[in-house]
């Protein structure tokens, strides 16, 4: 191995075991045990889902803030948002304020859940003077088309009597007038990018309500009502704003929040991993590296479909860098990954164990696997 060897570490989180930042630190500990002269560049990654905000804040030396907001059931919850290291880019994960994990199983009801808290997080970012906004919209408990979020930002959704709609997807059928005159004026100068990895339209058999409603607590009758309501909502947007969101791929993401961000914030929908690659700075750092390590909790044939390790591998291959993938579990048919950019895959699990024990020992096992890989490289 040449003197001054550099490894770029770009893992996703190992869910329930390590954050992406922690995984970088653990990998480096193992590497340094075997060869203290190797230098490591840390670029914590994500694929646009859970952990994206934290990874991008860590990768850019930004800062995470806490904010008390209205949760999906209308009760106050504590949520987080981030400002990236440039000081100009805010990042929000809607699940932090409006996620399904905030709703007890016996209270799941997309007829009443709201995205209001997500709008409050966006407002908090605006208050910090951002120029662009990144929004991850996975893991929602809601089916309100993003109406709650826009209400929090000053938009008004009125019924035929001029009264404001209440929370939840069940209210949308009452929508008669959209009033945006009090919508936060600062939004006009903000570039909004939305991490969205589904292509479901707003309504219909493959839309928000039919595909995602049941997991949010909707029975068959409720799904039909919610779908009709979103269709009505989309028609009102088209009639009054001249924007057609009904059949746009991704508009149905997060219970129609995708449609709301498209219509009212002029958001651009993009694949999560593509967004993370752009804002993490990984491409600027790749030319300095001799090798790239990535990984996450599990690697299998599904990794090729927009997961972090595949995104990292494909960008690394632009610079002809070898790529190693590490995972707690190696699944079936990983051979396809070798054809697509990952040169070698290693499991960090040392013995047969329970999932609980494997998660607990994740950092220890990742450190040891990293050390062993370098010890092998030392003798080649």
Maximum CA extent, the chain: 78
Task: Check whether residue 268 and residue 132 sit in a common domain.
Answer: yes
Q: With a cut of 80, say whether residue 351 has pLDDT above it.
A: no
Query: Is residue 351 assigned to a domain?
Result: yes
Query: Is residue 282 assigned to a domain?
Result: no
The answer to whether the predicted template modeling score (pTM) of the entire model surpasses 0.75 is yes
d(CA 163, CA 157): 8
Residue 356's pLDDT band, with cuts at 50, 70 and 90, is confident
* Domain harbouring 257, CATH code: 3.90.1510.10
Contact 148, 177 (CB under 8 A): no
Which pLDDT does position 34 carry in this prediction?
A: 97
Which pLDDT does position 333 carry in this prediction?
A: 87
SS (H, E, C) 345-376: EEECCCCCCCHHHHHHCHHHHHHHHHHHHHHH
Q: With a cut of 80, say whether residue 1 has pLDDT above it.
A: no
Asked which of 272, 299, 333 is the last residue of a domain, the reply is 272
Task: Check whether residue 78 and residue 104 sit in a common domain.
Answer: yes
137-177: pLDDT as tens digits: 989 999 999 999 999 999 999 999 999 999 999 999 999 99
Task: Check whether residue 70 and residue 21 sit in a common domain.
Answer: no
Task: Check whether residue 231 and residue 173 sit in a common domain.
Answer: yes
Task: Check whether residue 32 and residue 66 sit in a common domain.
Answer: no
Q: Which of 281, 300, 284 is nearest to 345 (CA)?
A: 300
Which pLDDT does position 16 carry in this prediction?
A: 85
Q: What is the mean pLDDT of residues 117-128?
A: 98
Asked which of 218, 242, 272 is the last residue of a domain, the reply is 272
Give the range of the structural domain holding residue 152, as residue numbers without chain letter.
Answer: 52-272
Q: Kindly list the distances between the CA atom of residue 184 and the CA atoms of 87, 269, 353, in Å, as whole numbers in the listed order.
A: 20, 21, 53
Other beta carbons within 10 angstroms of residue 160's beta carbon come to: 9
Kindly report the average pLDDT of the chain as a whole number.
95
Query: Is residue 152 assigned to a domain?
Result: yes
**Number of independent structural domains in the chain:** 2
């Amino acid at each position: 191995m040449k003197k001054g060897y550099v490894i770029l570490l770009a893992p996703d989180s190992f869910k329930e075991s390590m954050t992406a930042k922690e995984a970088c630190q653990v990998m480096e500990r193992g590497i340094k045990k075997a060869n203290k002269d190797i230098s490591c560049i840390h670029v914590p990654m994500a694929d646009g889902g859970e952990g994206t905000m934290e990874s991008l804040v860590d990768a850019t030396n930004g800062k995470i803030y806490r904010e008390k907001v209205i949760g999906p059931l209308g009760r106050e919850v504590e949520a987080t948002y981030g400002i990236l290291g440039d000081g100009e880019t805010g990042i929000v994960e809607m699940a932090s304020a409006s996620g399904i994990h905030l709703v007890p199983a016996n209270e799941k009801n997309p007829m009443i859940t709201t995205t209001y808290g997500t709008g409050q997080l966006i407002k908090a970012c605006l208050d910090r003077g951002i120029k662009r906004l990144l929004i991850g919209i996975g893991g929602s408990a809601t089916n309100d088309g993003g109406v709650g979020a826009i209400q929090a930002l000053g938009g008004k959704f009125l019924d035929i009597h001029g009264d404001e709609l209440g929370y939840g997807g069940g209210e949308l059928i009452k929508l008669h007038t959209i009033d945006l005159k009090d919508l936060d004026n600062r939004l006009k100068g903000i570039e909004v990018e939305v991490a969205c990895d589904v292509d479901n339209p707003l309504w219909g058999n493959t839309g928000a309500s039919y595909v995602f409603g049941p997991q949010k607590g909707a029975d068959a009758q409720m799904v039909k009502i919610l779908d009709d309501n979103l269709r009505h909502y989309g028609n009102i947007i088209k009639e009054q704003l001249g924007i057609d969101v009904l059949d746009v791929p991704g508009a149905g993401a997060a219970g129609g929040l995708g449609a709301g961000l498209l219509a009212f914030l002029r958001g651009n929908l993009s694949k999560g991993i593509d967004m993370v690659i752009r804002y993490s700075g990984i491409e600027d750092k790749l030319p300095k590296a001799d090798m790239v390590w990535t990984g996450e909790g599990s690697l299998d044939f599904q990794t090729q479909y927009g997961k972090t390790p595949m995104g990292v591998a494909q960008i690394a291959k632009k610079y002809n860098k070898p790529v190693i993938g590490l995972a707690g579990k190696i699944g079936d048919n990983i051979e396809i990954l070798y054809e697509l950019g990952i040169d070698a895959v290693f499991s960090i699990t040392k013995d047969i164990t329970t999932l609980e024990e494997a998660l607990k020992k994740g950092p220890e096992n990742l450190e040891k696997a990293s050390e062993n890989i370098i010890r092998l490289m030392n003798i080649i």
